[in-house]
Amino acid sequence: MNVTGTQPMDTPNDQYDSPWKRAVENYFSEFMEFYFPDAHAEIDWSKEHVFLDQELQAVVQDAELGKRFVDKLVRVNVLNGDEKWIYVHVEVQGTKQAEFAERMFVYNYRIFDRYKRPVASLAVLADKHKQWKPTSYSFSVLGCKLSFEFPVAKLTDYEKRLDELLVSDNAFGWITAAHILTQKTRTQHQERYEAKLRLVRILYQHRWDKQRIIDLLYIVDWLMQLPEWLNSRVWQELETIEEKEKMEYITSIERIGIVKGEARILKRQLERRFGLLPEWASEKLKSAKTKELEAWSDAIFTAPTIEDVFKKSKLSKKS
C-alpha cells in the first residue's frame, strides 16, 4: 500500500512503470490464457518466453502515437507451423484514442521489418468507453488495399462476471475485477474503501504464494487510490487479517510506514483543532505505536485540550 501518501483519486501514476507491466511480465501465461485463450493454446509454454523491452523501444522510439499502460514485446515458441518462434506485441490501453488502431498497425509492421518474423499484436482495452472497441486498421488508395486486424479484450465486457472473476484462480481474473471496481468507485471514497477491502480479503482467501499476494496487493493499491486516512484503515484491516489467519505478507518496514502515515494524519488533525503542536506532543507522535495512535484519534473528538488527548488515552489503558 502507498504508505508515503496517495495521489488524488484516479490521477495516473507513471504509466510506463505501472503494476500492469509487472503483472504481465510475472504472469504472462495467465495473461494470455485469460484474455486470449485461443492464442494461449498455440504457444509452447514448455519453452522459455523472452521479454524484449529495449528492442521494442529501439523499434518504435520515433513512433509515439499516444500513451498506454503497458507496451510489451515477447518472443515465444509456437506448437505448430513452420515458424519455431514468433513475436507477440501486447498493449494495455487505458484511454480512448482515435489513433490507437493506427499505432497497433505501425508497431506491427515495424517489428516485422526489424526481425522478419511473424508478429501477433494483441490489445487489452482498459478504458471506460463501452462502445469503443477498435479491432482493425485499413486503407485503400489507387487500387492498393491494406487491412490489419488484431484481437482485443475489452475489460468493460467482464462487468457482469464480477463474482466469477473474484474467485478465479487466474491472477488476471482478480486484476480485472479490481479494475472494474476501480471504475465503479471513481468519485466515491467510502465505496472505494469498501471495494478495496473486499478485494484484499478475497485475495487472502485464495492463499496463493507470498510473492503473488504481494504483487497483487501492489496492483490494487495502485489502481484504487484513496485519501491517506482511508488507506491507513485498509492497512489496519490487513494487519488484523494477517494476525487472525496467522499470515505475514506485510513486512516490518511496511508496518513502520503504516505507523508513520497514521501519525502524520493525527498530527494534522491535532493542529487543526489545537494549533501548532508543542515539542512534547510531536515527540509522542514520533515514538507512538499503532494502539496509542488509535486511542489518541478517538480522544481528539472530546478532549478540551491537547494535554487531555494524551491523558484520556492513558486513562483508557488503565480501565
Same domain, 85 and 164: yes
**What pLDDT does residue 71 have?**
86
> What CA–CA distance (Å, rounded) separates 174 from 4?
25
Q: Are strands 144-149 and 152-154 parallel, antiparallel or unpaired?
A: unpaired
Same domain, 201 and 261: no
Cell representation of residue 131: 462502445
Same domain, 101 and 199: yes
Rounded mean pLDDT of the chain?
82
Same domain, 161 and 307: no
Mean pLDDT value of segment 99-127: 93
pLDDT in tens, 251-296: 543 554 556 666 777 887 888 888 888 888 888 887 777 677 777 8
Instruction: Evaluate if residue 5 carries a pLDDT over 50.
Output: no
Q: Among residues 250, 284, 300, which one ends one of the domains?
A: 250
Q: Among residues 229, 250, 271, which one ends one of the domains?
A: 250
Same domain, 226 and 301: no
More confident residue, 141 or 259: 141
Name the band, by pLDDT with cuts 50, 70 and 90, for residue 2.
very low
Torsion of CA 100, 104, 105, 110, to 10 degrees: 130
Same domain, 213 and 282: no
**What pLDDT does residue 158 have?**
96
Same domain, 306 and 193: no
Same domain, 122 and 215: yes
Q: Among residues 250, 274, 304, which one ends one of the domains?
A: 250
Name the band, by pLDDT with cuts 50, 70 and 90, for residue 250.
low
Same domain, 109 and 225: yes
More confident residue, 32 or 276: 32
* SS3 call for 194: helix
* SS3 call for 239: helix
| Kind and range of the H or E run holding 144 | strand 144-149
Same domain, 258 and 246: no
Same domain, 275 and 292: yes
Q: Are strands 119-125 and 152-154 parallel, antiparallel or unpaired?
A: parallel
More confident residue, 9 or 52: 52
> What CA–CA distance (Å, rounded) separates 221 from 19?
9
Range of the domain at 154: 1-250
**What pLDDT does residue 181 have?**
94
Q: How many separate domains does the chain show? A: 2
Same domain, 31 and 133: yes
pTM of the predicted protein model: 0.72
Instruction: Evaluate if residue 302 carries a pLDDT over 90.
Output: no
More confident residue, 59 or 38: 38
**What pLDDT does residue 45 have?**
94
Q: Spell out the alpha helix ranges (H) of the chain.
A: 19-26, 28-35, 37-42, 53-60, 100-115, 162-166, 171-184, 189-206, 210-223, 228-245, 252-274, 279-287, 290-299, 306-318
**What pLDDT does residue 279 have?**
86
Q: With CA atoms as reference, report the closest residue to 91 among 18, 163, 162, 144.
A: 18
State the DSSP code for 38. Answer: H
Instruction: Evaluate if residue 179 carries a pLDDT over 90.
Output: yes
